[in-house]
Structure 1
Amino acid sequence: MLSTARSRIAALPRDTRDTLFLLAVIGWVMVPHIGNLPWWCSALAAGVLLWRGVLAVRNRPLPGKAWLVGLLIVTAAATFLTHRTLFGRDAGVTLIVVLLALKTLELRARRDAFVVFFLGFFTMLTNFFFSQSLPVAAAMMLGLLGLLTALVNAHLPVGKPPLAEAAKTAGWMALLGAPIMAVLFVLFPRFAPLWGIPGDAMTGRSGLSSTMQVGSVAKLALDETIAFRVRFEGQPPAPATLYFRGPVLSAFDGREWREMVPRLGQRYPMSYYTAPQLVVSGEPVRYEVTLEPHNRNWLMTLDVPQRPPEVPGYETLMTSELQWLTSRPVTDLLRYRAESYTEFRSGPAQLTTVLPEYLELPPGFNPRTRQLAGQMRAAAGGDPTGFIDAALQRLTSGGYEYTLEPGVYGLHSADEFWFDRKQGFCEHIASAFVILMRAGNVPARIVTGYQGGELNNVDRFWTVRQSDAHAWTEVWLAGRGWVRIDPTGAVSPGRTGSFQRLIPPQGVLGAAVATINPTLAANLRAAWEALNNSWNQWVLNYTQSKQLDLLKDIGFTSPTWEDLAYVLLGVVIVVALLGAAWSYWERIQHDPWLRLLSRARRRLRKAGLDVPESAPPRKVANLVTARFGPDARRLSDWLLELEALRYSRARPGSLAALRQQFRQLPWPT
């Protein structure tokens, strides 16, 4: 079947075969954009490419300008209606993809093909506006080789040269260009991205958000994408202390928890200005974080750093709630170093004017929880520590369950959790616990972030996924300040102690692999993530500061962008001179056939024959016959054989044989 398809393709005219190959390459370049483009754009591009392929196979005429103008108008109108503009990243990529597809309907001459080639190169680059991942880079490398192959094929002479020959030439071109690409990657000045990543809604998926609507999601889908990676210096801390702090949610309106920051027209609460009053003890944990872009200004740190993390290109700020923020949203892969203390105390030791903000509850919500809090606080004799212990004991022995499918909660979410459903994931448990604490006159707040992680045994990085997102609580106790309480650990100790996670059902392929070898899938994922992490560390995270550090390593004391430009210019000049010298040597000296012909010319000049430097072998043979007559027949025949070796299709003899004969010829004197 495969041989039949090959024979049918080989039987096609060259124009048809080349067109089909070019359309396949264009389709490959467009495929990664499917998830980034409007559905109509992907459908239109696919339809146009398919239409052009049918026209090529059936040898039908291309559509007229009326068709093209009509499609262009429809495309521009649809783009404007979809994006409300014709400018910017999303609208621009939509237009360039459709224009590339429409341009294939004008493939009538070589000039049109060149326009398609370079539009294809530009479209290939636009894929990196949305993702710089290793799979996308590998796919675009194949697309680059495909476009280069089509470009080389367009320059080959008439006939039906095999695509393998064009692909070989394209591969050599890419290989020869790789050193230049490497130099430009290392030295070309790096600027901030033209566009940030789009906002990503996390509703119904595990992960972090600036707000938390309790009970609005009936089923939580575990998101296995990577949030960040951590590499510890020395021995990592105990698993139970791996809490990476994110947004702190302190304001509650009965349904939604949010950060205690002002909305439009409101003032910051006094507590936001209050110093954290942080006191640390023990040995610090030093580590390096590689944070995936999340389009927020949250900085993930192990609870809790005392000094600002070393974040190149960003200014950082710690809020009064111990959360570290950056000066602008993180829209690129970010690597930074930090130093944290897992033993710490924060907040005022005695009751202050700011703490009542952490006791506020909206009126009319969760009456049964309020009543329960009063009973438990009274049973504890008014002691807040005893009250907290009683609440944790209720979670441990009261039949509460940690699950991903608790169903949709109603208006009184805490009442439903404590008395009716008794199940939920960490946000339900943390919210119900904080409401209970506040109702019992204990200041409390919700802290969101990530807990735990997974050690990759291939590269020794800790991988923290969105599925590791977690919500815990902090309560204020007199003389101790803010104290971390993780009520989820009381319901499901394995969630925070041994990193046991609720896992979604496996797919057919995953289940089959697990049946054959339970550890194979985990090992394959670890190897892939280690490879992807290397890509992130050495390629995507090669930043402006690393370029300047490179200049320091080669001798610059205080490198600037001007120094970087000078180094790059010097490298370009040196490479250009080396290339010119190599080309000259290749043309004059490296060709053994030309060297042998040049030696023959020099021998004849010594014999008194005036041979022009540019004379080909046949002209030299004619000059030898005219000057020396029949006595030089062997020499003239040898020159004609030398010409045949270069230009004849049969190519008789070999250069080695002619070189041997050269030494045995009766040269005239």
Structure 2
Amino acid sequence: MNLRQSLVSLPRDPRDTLFLLFVIVWVIAPQVSNLPVWTSLLAGGLLLWRGWLAWTGRPLPGRWTVAALLLVAVAGTLFTHRTILGRDAGVTLIVMLLALKMLELRARRDAMVVFFLGFFTMLSNFFFSQSLLTAAAMLVALLGLLMALVNAHMPVGRPPLAQTFRMAGTMALLGAPIMVALFMLFPRMSPLWGMPGENLSGRSGLSGTMKIGDMAEIALDERVAIRLRFEGAPTDVPAQSTLYFRGPVMTAFDGREWQAEPFREDSAWAARAALPANLQVSGPAVRYEVTLEPQRQPWLMVLEATPEAPQLPNNMQAYMTQDLQWMTARPITEVMRYQAVSYPEFRHGPQQSVRQLRVYTELPPGFNPRTLELAAQMRADPALANARTEVLVNAVLQRLRTGGYNYSLDPGVYGQHTADEFWFDRKEGFCEHIASAFVVLMRAMDVPARIVTGYQGGERNPVDGYWTVRNADAHAWSEVWMEGRGWVRVDPTGAVSPNRVGQFQRLRAPQGAFANALGTLSPGMVQNLRAVWEAVNNGWNQWVLNYTQSRQMDLLKALGFESPSWQDLTTVLGSLVIAAALGGMGWSLWERAQHDPWLRLLARTRQRLARAGLTLPETLPPRAMAERVRAHFGPQAAGVADWLLRLERLRYAPHPDTELGALRREFRALHWPNR
């Protein structure tokens, strides 16, 4: 007997239990990456054990066994999270309670608890991800739980799963309009899902520090970081090589790591913090809308340079640091959409030399001696001895172009003297190797310089017209201070690999055999499929995750409210709920009116006799029912039998409606026999 035949031959209860177990596994599976390892293993083991018990027909474990496992689950939660409160601890505990409750699934009451825990666990998936894939998976889980709920309310017979699927699908479709109305009109909470303040480690890979070699790992991450929609004609979009999205600015170097240090209580850093941005913009403005993925950092990614604060949702405030970096007061933990205006032509920083700029020439002692010697040699060159900063920058860039340097995704692990290794030994590196070595050399020549991290480039999606910037587009470049110009962007990576900046050709990790074969058979198919998927996912972000309070008010304006308020929103929502309730009540009354009142009275009689101990088939007519009543109960049920005969005569009377009310009243006054 194969597996399919074995499943078909299973009794009703084991079949329904195995189906419910499959649904629960589907609900829990997306949480595995968020749960402690012991939780996934223990919950999986408990569900497998429960499935084996159902398959073999063995009895469930006793209460003491379940209680001991519960203590283990609570102790494990406390040991891992140091609490049983909060998002992570709560999800761990709810998953374990769901798995343990399956070991107590003996009655319908237990099943109702399992359904409640299942729906709650399903919702908890959105605490960690609100992606389209997660939503689709949870929609399948919702249908599965509804099917199991329908099965629990059909105790008689062996209804096929196709029938329960149709009923569950009908229930979901009937509830969909109410769900949409509540989504559109229920007051927006920020964040929509999740709990801010938990798990705030950086997602995008950008951080307030840059360790030499770390950024190369981000180049393997193809996840979307930013989506942009530019206003105006396609010809108004800036050139791809000019798309620099400014992130953390690195100023302090300890020999291995660059840091965007906060304010410190010493005169040099206090002076630097007091140095004004002095931003001056010119030329045409670029207006665009940004959809920023939740990076769990407070940085707002905008094009260089943005003089005015981006328009943030939910009355959030943004501020600009003296390094031209826009930030929010709290980490960004949900997809955020905002508008910004940038000017590709700009100047910033002091135009004349000031003492605060000395901070940007500092280097740690004892590091990169050969680079310091190279700087001294270049300064000793008569052509460069008293040259302006522009000449020094061009000399270093020329060295990068002609010195045999390569742009590499995997240059190996650098040692203590990172700049020395790049300039003299390895002569290859990723963008942070090149930018760091460039800034160290410029500082060694007593030129103020710093590192800027962020994103560079992007690609236009031909399906929806949005520009997509990925984590793989993370980039590091430098800024050099020049007399009369202020801080000037210098991207040394472009000198080593012009295609990275000019034609935007990323380095890519080696592809697997399947990807290579697919690309050989259809070179553009993978790219087209990704474009379609990202357009769909972007639509999800724009219309669902970014449905904010302001868009709710815009909806009310479209409905005719001149100055919409929360009272108007509550009025519209309440009106829809009342209308839906009245519609449902009207439908119920109409449906009841469609049934034959005589048949309803006969059905009530059959139910009353069943409670008295006599179960009769639904197809039995009143006369046959009367005979069964006399045979089963004897003379004490004579009144009931006579009433049934009059009910049958009523069916064929000339004016049945005139006597049905009287029979209803007699029905309530009848002396029904006992068991």
Q: Same fold (TM over 0.5)?
A: yes
How far apart, CA to CA, are the structure 2 residues paired with 1:265 and 1:563? 54
How far apart, CA to CA, are the structure 1 residues paired with 2:224 and 2:174? 36
**What is the match of residue 180 of structure 2?**
182
Equivalent residues in 2 for 1:375-386, closer than 5 Å? 375-379=377-381, 380-383=384-387, 384-386=389-391
Amino acid across the alignment from 1:12: L
**What is the match of residue 162 of structure 1?**
160
Contact 1:426 1:471 in 2 (8 A): yes
Q: 1:334 deviation in Å?
A: 0.3
Which is worse superposed, 145-154 or 504-513?
504-513
Q: How many residues align?
A: 609
Question: What do residues 590-628 of structure 1 show as CA deviations (whole Å, max 9, x unaligned)?
Answer: x5x679999xxxxxxxxxxxxxxxxx9958996598699
How far apart, CA to CA, are the structure 2 residues paired with 1:625 and 1:479? 108
Gaps of 5+ in 1: 599-615, 637-669
Which is worse superposed, 188-197 or 249-258?
188-197
Q: 1:218 deviation in Å?
A: 8.5
Amino acid across the alignment from 2:380: A
Amino acid across the alignment from 1:148: L
How far apart, CA to CA, are the structure 2 residues paired with 1:549 and 1:429? 48
How far apart, CA to CA, are the structure 2 residues paired with 1:316 and 1:597? 67
**What is the match of residue 356 of structure 2?**
354
**What is the match of residue 37 of structure 1?**
35
Report SS of the residue matched to 1:286.
strand
**What is the match of residue 347 of structure 2?**
345
Contact 1:366 1:412 in 2 (8 A): yes
**What is the match of residue 257 of structure 1?**
258
Amino acid across the alignment from 2:128: F
Question: What do residues 382-402 of structure 1 show as CA deviations (whole Å, max 9, x unaligned)?
Answer: 212211111000000001111
**What is the match of residue 517 of structure 1?**
522
Q: 1:347 deviation in Å?
A: 1.0
**What is the match of residue 396 of structure 2?**
391
**What is the match of residue 102 of structure 1?**
100
Contact 1:302 1:340 in 2 (8 A): yes
Contact 1:219 1:406 in 2 (8 A): no
Report SS of the residue matched to 1:564.
helix
Contact 1:458 1:530 in 2 (8 A): yes
Q: 1:159 deviation in Å?
A: 1.8
Question: What do residues 45-93 of structure 1 show as CA deviations (whole Å, max 9, x unaligned)?
Answer: 1111110111111111110111111111111111111111111111110
Contact 2:219 2:473 in 1 (8 A): no
State the 4+ residue runs in structure 1 displaced beyond 4 angstroms.
215-221, 263-268, 593-598, 616-628, 632-636
Amino acid across the alignment from 1:104: M
**What is the match of residue 422 of structure 2?**
417
**What is the match of residue 335 of structure 1?**
337
Which is worse superposed, 563-572 or 461-470?
563-572
* Pairing 1:477–2:496 present: no
How far apart, CA to CA, are the structure 1 residues paired with 2:491 and 2:171? 59
Q: Pick closer, same or farther for the CA change 1:14–1:480 going to 2, 3 Å.
A: same
**What is the match of residue 451 of structure 2?**
446
**What is the match of residue 199 of structure 1?**
200
Report SS of the residue matched to 1:295.
coil
Q: Pick closer, same or farther for the CA change 1:364–1:244 going to 2, 3 Å.
A: same
How far apart, CA to CA, are the structure 2 residues paired with 1:42 and 1:268? 49
How far apart, CA to CA, are the structure 1 residues paired with 2:561 and 2:180? 21
How far apart, CA to CA, are the structure 1 residues paired with 2:543 and 2:210? 36
How far apart, CA to CA, are the structure 2 residues paired with 1:437 and 1:464? 30
How far apart, CA to CA, are the structure 2 residues paired with 1:224 and 1:493? 22
Contact 1:218 1:407 in 2 (8 A): no
Report SS of the residue matched to 1:6.
helix
Question: What do residues 296-352 of structure 1 show as CA deviations (whole Å, max 9, x unaligned)?
Answer: 110000111121111113211111111111121111100000011001111111001
Amino acid across the alignment from 1:103: K
Report SS of the residue matched to 1:212.
strand
Selected match of 1:133 from 128, 131, 134: 131
Q: Pick closer, same or farther for the CA change 1:394–1:625 going to 2, 3 Å.
A: closer
Which is worse superposed, 209-218 or 90-99?
209-218
How far apart, CA to CA, are the structure 2 residues paired with 1:548 and 1:422? 57
Equivalent residues in 2 for 1:462-501, closer than 5 Å? 462-501=467-506
Contact 1:451 1:468 in 2 (8 A): yes
Amino acid across the alignment from 1:517: S
Amino acid across the alignment from 2:224: I
Amino acid across the alignment from 2:228: V
Contact 2:401 2:496 in 1 (8 A): yes
How far apart, CA to CA, are the structure 2 residues paired with 1:385 and 1:463? 34
Report SS of the residue matched to 2:251.
strand
Amino acid across the alignment from 2:115: F
Q: Pick closer, same or farther for the CA change 1:220–1:555 going to 2, 3 Å.
A: closer
Q: 1:172 deviation in Å?
A: 0.1
Report SS of the residue matched to 1:257.
strand
Equivalent residues in 2 for 1:238-257, closer than 5 Å? 238-257=239-258
Question: What do residues 404-455 of structure 1 show as CA deviations (whole Å, max 9, x unaligned)?
Answer: 1111111111111111111110001001101111111111110101000111
* Pairing 1:577–2:582 present: yes
Report SS of the residue matched to 1:310.
coil
How far apart, CA to CA, are the structure 1 residues paired with 2:39 and 2:647? 71
Amino acid across the alignment from 2:167: T
Q: Pick closer, same or farther for the CA change 1:125–1:218 going to 2, 3 Å.
A: closer
Amino acid across the alignment from 1:509: F
How far apart, CA to CA, are the structure 2 residues paired with 1:492 and 1:595? 88
Selected match of 2:319 from 310, 317, 320: 317
Q: Pick closer, same or farther for the CA change 1:279–1:333 going to 2, 3 Å.
A: same
CA RMSD of aligned residues (A): 2.6
How far apart, CA to CA, are the structure 1 residues paired with 2:491 and 2:390? 15
How far apart, CA to CA, are the structure 2 residues paired with 1:316 and 1:335? 13
Amino acid across the alignment from 2:256: R
Contact 2:224 2:468 in 1 (8 A): yes
* Pairing 1:437–2:442 present: yes
Q: Pick closer, same or farther for the CA change 1:564–1:143 going to 2, 3 Å.
A: same
**What is the match of residue 270 of structure 2?**
269
Q: Pick closer, same or farther for the CA change 1:495–1:244 going to 2, 3 Å.
A: same
- What's the % identity of the aligned pairs? 60
Amino acid across the alignment from 1:316: A
Which is worse superposed, 31-40 or 247-256?
247-256
How far apart, CA to CA, are the structure 1 residues paired with 2:600 and 2:21? 46
How far apart, CA to CA, are the structure 2 residues paired with 1:109 and 1:254? 67
Q: 1:532 deviation in Å?
A: 0.5
* Pairing 1:503–2:508 present: yes
**What is the match of residue 297 of structure 1?**
298
TM-score normalized by structure 1?
Answer: 0.87
Contact 2:263 2:273 in 1 (8 A): no
Contact 2:622 2:648 in 1 (8 A): no
* Pairing 1:548–2:553 present: yes
Q: Pick closer, same or farther for the CA change 1:360–1:71 going to 2, 3 Å.
A: same
**What is the match of residue 13 of structure 1?**
11
